[in-house]
Chains A and B, each alone.
Chain A
Amino acid sequence: NAGVTQTPKFQVLKTGQSMTLQCAQDMNHNSMYWYRQDPGMGLRLIYYSASEGTTDKGEVPNGYNVSRLNKREFSLRLESAAPSQTSVYFCASSEWDSGWGNDEQYFGPGTRLTVT
């Protein structure tokens, strides 16, 4: 089991360029998430997908789009990168446990993005 994988690990973009961050999980989880981590800010939710075919905005969705390609894959797209999007991006997945209603989220290793 690889768990949650993310590509690329590092990326440098110029302002205005576009790119897609890829995320895949092999745990058959229904829910997937994208976060950004900035110094002193903790993790903030960008978008999430409760199940295949659905996506919803999180706390900081502006400047991003997402696609839930299938149950395994959830991609994050920056259409026109800005320096304010310099951050570390984490993908996560989880499965709702009907027994108690909450389950932990499993995180990928992250993508470090710099926009110049």
Chain B
Amino acid sequence: GDSVTQMEGPVTLSEEAFLTINCTYTATGYPSLFWYVQYPGEGLQLLLKATKADDKGSNKGFEATYRKETTSFHLEKGSVQVSDSAVYFCALSEDSGAGSYQLTFGKGTKLSVIP
């Protein structure tokens, strides 16, 4: 079945450091790929997405490129802020039939940014 593997955390960075969170996937078809973010005590919010190979998703300074050849969707940000401290989830979505798409999540990576 489908699966998502992302780097283990926690990750601790200083403010303005470069961030990479690795994510690789296995899927039978051509999934869409997502990064979700969960701030403390809240639900998940979509951060960015990509629907086909070579697409780049971007939002709030974060970027990720859909690499079919390496089955990867790594999350990057050039300069992190304290407000980026959260748990980040990589996910993929495939058609489960009848117009409903199931998300398969990675285990999450906790990021802490210190001033």
Contact = CB atoms under 8 A, between A and B. Distances in A.
Interface in B94-115: 95-103, 105-108
Nearest to B99: A96
* Interface size bracket, A side: 20 to 34
Contacts of B96: 48, 50, 56
B34 interface: yes
B105 A54 contact: no
A104 B97 contact: no
Contacts, number: 69
Interface in A14-44: 30-31, 33, 40-44
Interface residues of B, number: 25
B46 interface: yes
Contacts of A61: none
B98 A103 contact: no
Contact of A109 (B43, B97, B102): B43
B108 A103 contact: no
A56 B102 CA distance: 11
A51 B101 contact: no
Contacts of B45: 107
A62 interface: no
A108 B89 contact: no
B49 to A, nearest CB: 6
Contacts of B103: 33, 43, 45, 105
Interface string A45-67: 10011110010101000000000
Contacts of A90: 43-44
B100 A50 contact: yes
Interface of B: 4, 32, 34, 42-46, 49, 51, 89, 93, 95-103, 105-108
Interface of A: 4, 30-31, 33, 40-45, 48-51, 54, 56, 58, 90, 92, 94, 96, 100-110
